[in-house]
Amino acid sequence: MSLSPNHGPRRDGLRPELVVIHYTAMADCEAAIRVLCAPEREVSAHYLIRRDGQVVALVDEALRAWHAGAGEWRGQGDVNSRSIGIELDNDGASPFAAALMDGLEGLLPGILARWEIPAHGVIGHSCMAPGRKIDPGPRFDWERLARGGLALWPAGRGVSPLDPGRFRADALAYGFPDVEDALLLAAVRLRFRHGMRGPLDGRDCAIMAEMAAHMRA
């Protein structure tokens, strides 16, 4: 039985093929639980992980939780019907607690195995909703998840020739939405080069070429 009433059936026979990572951007976990379980708020997630690493199950994985909102990934919308949503107890500005990250690393393998979701299916809310969402934000340690085979991170450190058209094609092949250039670059950098500023460069191009290659493998 789901703790949160904010859910429904997955639509059109869809099943989870993504895991979307969020942060709560709230003062504490109890406040987040109240919001995620309030019918009038119409928002939820499948799991919430406390700063001490405790996992709170809110919605059964087989059901459609209301966590992603408007956006798309790999050219497809209704991300709620195609994903598992995980909220992390973090205010959006602070480092993620070590125990929280331990809890996430303990939770993800089972989800990925149950639904046969590959590592490239673990994305941030900001990835599927550029310009609208920034979570899990620049403090989230994607590289750590990748070391455990739970996400992707670039292995190479090189640069590619500056080619805006190729960068866009590779970013869309990886999964990012077809948004205007500045938003696309910001979304890619928030995921892979947080803190980087300035115009598109050869490192951005190399990263997306590598990520797109994973999708073609």
Active site (annotated) includes residue 30: no
Answer for the pair 119, 149: CB distance below 8 angstroms, yes or no: yes
**Phi and psi at residue 114, to the nearest 5°:** -60, -35
DSSP state of 150: S
| Catalytic annotation, pick one of 40, 87, 143, 180 | 87
Q: Does a cis peptide bond (omega within 30 degrees of 0) precede residue 138?
A: no
What is the C-alpha to C-alpha distance for residues 208 and 155, in angstroms, rounded to an integer?
A: 12
Q: Is the dihedral of CA 35, 73, 136, 89 positive or negative?
A: positive
CA 38 to chain CA centroid, Å, is: 23
Structure-derived torsion over alpha carbons of residues 142, 21, 194, 205, reported in degrees to the nearest 10: 80
Catalytic residues: 87
